[in-house]
Amino acid sequence: MANIKEIARMAGVSVTTVSRVLNNHPYVSEVKRTAVLNTIEKLNYTRNMNAVHLITGRTQAIAVIIPYTNLFYFSVIIAGLAQEALLAQYRLVLCQTDYRTEEEIKVLEMLRNKEIDGVVMVSSTMSSEAIEEYTAYGPIVVCQDRGERQFSSVYIEHYSAFRSGLQYLNDKGYRHIGYCEGRPHGSSSSIRQIAFRDFLEATDQPYNDEWMIYNCLTEEDGARVLHQLLQMKNRPDALIISAGDHIAAGLIIEAWKKGIRIPEDLAVIGFDDQPIGRTLGLTTVDNQLTEMGISAFRIIYDQIQRNDGQPVHRKLEYRIIERNTV
């Protein structure tokens, strides 16, 4: 493959001039510019970007750490990131880590290696301290609320979003609220549990361990939960489902099969505003996933461009979408 030297020789100019043409630098006469462009055309030349990356110290690429790509929640964030990356002519290196810490570390090592210019950690198992050790090598954005750390963050306040959902149920008159949580040790599950307890306390309701259901992650789990409820002597009159509308969908479909009326027999509020929820008329808390991806990219892009290490912390707004399952 032809290289810049060959182009220079054939066009009768120096390599510097070729480089200037390649990078649209000023101070190149039209004559030489066209001469260079012609030989580039003739030799079917393209730059070897690895050489460019080596000398500039930049790769125009960022990595995304994400546990799964085929879950709605994550896939929407990726879509937002990818959309902005396309606009900015940046590459997105997708690292599906399955929540494995050693894989997350490998990605951060890519930052040290100079393979990428920054890292977006959509969901991470690493401690904030461990992440901070890598901020020396380039900008890092985490899509979780971890407080005022040395790395940037984009997040929604899970405490507040969850309490809003609970308050909404309360305002509609429900006084026996059950709660379906996703991963029991997920990063925001403990904060939601605190929110739940606080809410019960504030509204003078007793805590009922039976109404606290863990490991609700799939449509099938949603259906399972409905059966669990049917077994109970003392049933909740409303359910808040934190890990996504698809779980609520599974539950609602099963409820229809069993003749349980929604919301008369059981009110349901979900999270994420998924398409299937729209179809079902599911009331939900929209937590702006596309916006999260977009913001994460913009923040990291800004920091790369300005070479600015100052961490940014952006809080996103959630909103309740009222439909007819509450």
Residues that bind a second copy (CB under 8 A): 46-51, 53-54, 59, 61, 64, 68-70, 72, 75-76, 78-79, 82-83, 85-86, 91-98, 103, 109-110, 112-115, 218-220, 222-223, 246, 249-250, 253-254, 256, 275-276, 278-280
Peptide linkage before 311 cis (omega within 30 of 0): no
Question: Under the criterion CB under 7 A, does residue 279 sit at the interface with DNA?
Answer: no
Cα separation, 83 vs 69, whole angstroms: 16
Unique residue bearing structure tokens 């669990």: 228
Question: Under the criterion CB under 7 A, does residue 13 sit at the interface with DNA?
Answer: yes
Closest CB 72 distance from a second copy, rounded Å: 7
Q: Figure out which of the listed residues 34, 48, 279, 305 binds DNA, where binding follows CB under 7 A.
A: 48
Three-point CA angle 249, 255, 257, nearest 5°: 110
Cα separation, 270 vs 239, whole angstroms: 9
Closest CB 94 distance from a second copy, rounded Å: 4
The SS3 call for residue 74 is helix
Cα separation, 8 vs 160, whole angstroms: 62
Beta bridge partners of 152: 141
> CB–CB of 300/118 below 8 Å?
yes
Q: Pick from a second copy, DNA, none: which does 82 bind, CB < 5 to 8 A by kind?
A: a second copy
* Closest to DNA by CB, 29 or 279: 29
The encoded tokens of residue 126 equal 């690493």
The SS3 call for residue 154 is strand
Which of the stretches 22-30, 94-102, 103-111, 215-223 binds DNA when contact is defined by CB under 7 A?
22-30
Question: Under the criterion CB under 7 A, does residue 304 sit at the interface with DNA?
Answer: no
Burial (0-12, 13-18, 19+ Cβ within 10 Å), 129: exposed
Question: Under the criterion CB under 7 A, does residue 3 sit at the interface with DNA?
Answer: yes
Q: Pick from DNA, a second copy, none: which does 167 bind, CB < 5 to 8 A by kind?
A: none
* Closest to DNA by CB, 7 or 107: 7
* Closest to a second copy by CB, 71 or 191: 71
> CB–CB of 292/80 below 8 Å?
yes
C-alpha of 216 from chain center? 20
Interactions with DNA, residue window 70-89 (CB under 7 A): none
Burial (0-12, 13-18, 19+ Cβ within 10 Å), 172: middle
Closest CB 107 distance from DNA, rounded Å: 19
* Closest to a second copy by CB, 115 or 210: 115
Question: Under the criterion CB under 7 A, does residue 56 sit at the interface with DNA?
Answer: yes
* Closest to a second copy by CB, 70 or 231: 70
Closest CB 136 distance from a second copy, rounded Å: 10
Q: Pick from a second copy, DNA, none: which does 108 bind, CB < 5 to 8 A by kind?
A: none
The SS3 call for residue 287 is coil
Binding-site size for DNA (CB under 7 A) equals 29
> CB–CB of 251/241 below 8 Å?
yes
Cα separation, 178 vs 240, whole angstroms: 6
Question: Under the criterion CB under 7 A, does residue 28 sit at the interface with DNA?
Answer: yes
Which residues of this chain interact with DNA, rule CB under 7 A? Answer: 1, 3-5, 12-17, 19-20, 22-23, 26-29, 31-32, 45-48, 51-52, 54-56
